Structures are given as C-alpha cells and as structure tokens.
Structure 1
Amino acid sequence: MLARATLSYALLATFTLLGACASGGSARASRPLTPAQLAAQDGGIPPYTKADVSFMQGMISHHAQAVTMSSFAESNGATSEVRVLAGRITVAQTDEIAFMKTWLGKRKQTMPAGDMEAMAHAHHIGMDMSTMGGDASGGMMPGMLSPAQMDTLKTAKGRAFDWYFLTFMIQHHKGAISMVDELMSAKGAANDDDVFKFVSDVVADQSTEIDRMELLLKARSRP
C-alpha cells in the first residue's frame, strides 16, 4: 500500500511539473516578438514603416536636385570657396543616394529611376507626404527648387552664381531637415538603426553646411 501511495505522489508531481512547463511555454509563445526576433524572421531586415519607405524614396530625388545644382558650379564660374562646397555636397549626397537605393532594394521597394537631372525635376516622385504629416496635395517636397529657380541658377555666372547657389542651397538644406522632422513625427518611423543613423547624419551635416553657407552669403551682395 505504501509503495502504491508513493508512486501516486510521484506521478502527481510529474504531471504538475509538465503542466507548469506547458503553461509557461504558452505564455512565452503569446509574448510579442522583439525587433531582433522580427528581423530574424524577415531575413535579417529590421522592421520598417511606410513613412520610412516614403522618406527614402523622396529623399533620393531631393538629394539628386542638390547634386544637379552643384554640378553647375564649375562651368558657371563659381569662386573657389563655392566650388569646394559644391564638390563636397556632390560626393556626400551621391554616396547617400547609393545608400538609400540599397536600403529600398533590400526591402523590394520601388525607387525613383533615371539620371540625376531627371530625378532633380521629379519633385515629389514616389513620396506620399501624408505618411509623414506633410502635404498630401502633390506639392513639391520642402526646400526643392522650382523650375524657375533651377533655370536662374543654371544661367547665373561668376559671383551672381555664388549668391544664387548659396541662397538656394540653404533653402534646399533646410527643406531636407524639415523632411527629417516630419519623418521623426510619424508613428513608429526611424526605428531601424540604419534609418535613424542616416537621418541623424543628414541633420548634422546639413546644419553645419547651412552655417557655413550663411557666412559665405554675408560676404556677397545680391546680384
């Protein structure tokens, strides 16, 4: 009798332990996955939002216009200070365009197509500003030059070019920073470490360049 009782207690303890394990496993299964776990399920790609995608698509065209603007400096007789600045903008923003295209490509998202000048004039291609609290009416992205402004810059020469380039590029850079602000205000946006680092670099680099351009502009009179 004692042996049977001992066996019964042992079986009861075993079933109780198994039930607890099953209950614990169920609780663990119901917990939301961490970002790392979600990324692992999606081939190592961190979670992203529609706002992230729209930002990248729009910023490619935005950067392309800055590169096109900078390409006029040499042929339009800009001073050495402005030519150096334009060269730095060309290198930095061309590299960033490559990064944004790679980011979109890995996520199988569409991206603006064509050469730099074509993208520079496609003012809001691929970008739904409403996803970031912006203008959903189809207007130009913040800071983008109008066709008339682009024509003015393209035909200006020498010191006149310097003035227009600095004025328009300040406008352009402030627009890019505004786009970052809009992205950061969107729910769940920029949680991808690569996106967060990229937009942080955009704000830091372009804020520094704005300060530099404003100093250069003070030394020049309006044409």
Structure 2
Amino acid sequence: MTGTRSLIRRAALGTAAVTTAVVLTACGSDDGSSDSGSAAKESASASTEATAEAHNDQDVSFAQGMIPHHQQAIQTARMAESRASSSEVKDLAARIEEAQDPEIKTMSGWLKAWGEDVPSSMPGMDHGDSDASGMPGMMDTEGMDELMDASGKGFDSMFLTMMVEHHQGAVEMATTEKEEGRYGPAKKLAADIITTQNAEIEEMNKLLGKS
C-alpha cells in the first residue's frame, strides 16, 4: 500500500514538472516572437526611411526635366508614322517611342514616391509656349510647327536633324545625373540613356550622310 502511494506521488510530481516546463517554454517562445516581431518592424521602418532619403535634389530635377524631354521626343516620333518617307526613319521613331514611354512611367513613379510634383505635360506640347527651349535640345514651338508641316524626304531630314540635337540634350542631362545624382536607379537610367541615345545619334548622323 505504501509502495503504491509512493508510485502515485512520483507520477504526480513528474506530471507537474512537465507542465511547468511546457509553460515556461511557451512563455519564452512568446517573448522571443514578440522581440523578433518588433525587430522586424523596426528594420522595415528603417529601410523605408533609408529609401525615402536615398535621393537628392539632382535626382528630382533629372526626373522632372527628363519626363517632358521624353514627351517631346515621343510626340515628334509619332509624326514619323504618317509623314516620314524613309523606312529607316520610321523604324527609328518607333524604337524611340517604345524605349522612352516606359521610362516616363518609371520616373513618374519615383517622383510620386518622393512626394514631388510630376510634370503633367510638356512645356509647349500644345504649341502654347516657347519655353520648351529652356532644356538642352528641346525644340521650340516654331520648330515643332515646321516639322508638323513637313512630309516625305523633307520631313526625314528635318526630323533627323532635330532629333540629333534633342538626343544630345538628353545625354547632357543624363550625364549630370550620373555625376551628381544619388538615387541608384536614376543613375542607372541615366547611364542607359547615355548609351542608347549616343548610339541613336550615330545612327541618325549616318542616315543624314554625316558619318
């Protein structure tokens, strides 16, 4: 009888010990998860702040300037669909539009994320302002009107001449961004613009018989 009581008592003590261990483990787990969750939240917050601060005024100027610059290039390229006589000019114009339209969307996204103004339209886009010439390579209202009135080989020559200058302006703007910008993706886009548009300048000069 005494032996039986002793066995029961040992079993009860063993069960209590296991229960206590489980409770302590659970508490330790809860505390760890809480600490881990807080650390993750703090890390995410720090990352967001770092991203928000990873640009400078030059990055903003680059995006706000290059968007209307690209818009004019696209507007000009679209004229080639019905006015150009050369298949090479039409092909080049299509590639310009295909490359620059997504870049406008990308830069607009950056500006929104930074809380900066996104240019809604190009200066002089609707022929209401000649201030478009304020940025390197931008065509003024008079030049755009002349291009719109041209067709055939005359359009081809004028388009290529004006677009060479327009591309040179974009390369100048992109070079400044590459040298003075801070935001990695913007500097990468600037480098891509320099490479792509320099190649297109060479192509257009060949079509003009200049090289």
Q: Please state if 1:211 is matched with 2:202.
A: yes
Structure with greater proportional helix content: 2
CA shift in 2, pair 1:47/1:80, >3 Å? same
After TM superposition, the structure 1 = structure 2 runs for residues 13-162 of structure 1, keeping only pairs within 5 Å, are: 40-42=47-49, 44-45=51-52, 47-114=54-121, 118=125, 140-162=134-156
Structure 1 stretch 167-176 or stretch 109-118: which is displaced more? 109-118
Matching residue of 1:163: 157
Offset from partner CA, 1:18-75 (integer Å, 9 cap, x none): xxxxxxxxxxxxxxxxxx9996151744511111101100100000000010011122
> 2:180 matched to 1:183?
no
Q: 1:214 to 1:77 in 2, by over 3 A?
A: closer
1:217 corresponds to which letter in structure 2? Answer: L
Preserved contact between residue 77 and residue 157 of structure 1 (Cα < 8 Å): yes
d(CA) in 1 for partners of 2:45, 2:166: 36
| 1:197 aligned partner, one-letter code | K
Q: 1:68 to 1:200 in 2, by over 3 A?
A: same
Matched positions, count:
168
- Give the CA deviation at 1:115: 7.7
Of residues 193, 198, 202, the one that matches 1:202 is 193
Identity over aligned residues, as a percent? Answer: 35
Runs of at least 4 residues off by over 2 Å: 36-39, 43-46, 114-125, 181-186
Unmatched tracts of structure 2, length 5 or more: 1-42
Structure number with larger C-alpha Rg: 2
TM-score under structure 1 normalisation?
A: 0.67
Deviates more, 1:147-156 or 1:203-212: 147-156
- Structure 1 unmatched runs, 5+: 1-35, 126-138
Structure 1 contact 76–155 (Cα < 8 Å) conserved: no
d(CA) in 2 for partners of 1:39 and 1:45?
Answer: 10
Distance, in Å, in 2 between the alignment partners of 1:121 and 1:76 is 23
Q: Is the 8 A contact 2:137 2:170 kept in 1?
A: yes
User: Contact between 1:51 and 1:183, CA under 8 Å: does it hold in 2?
Assistant: yes
Q: Structure 2: how far apart are the matches of 1:123 and 1:51?
A: 24
TM-score of the pair, normalised by structure 2: 0.71
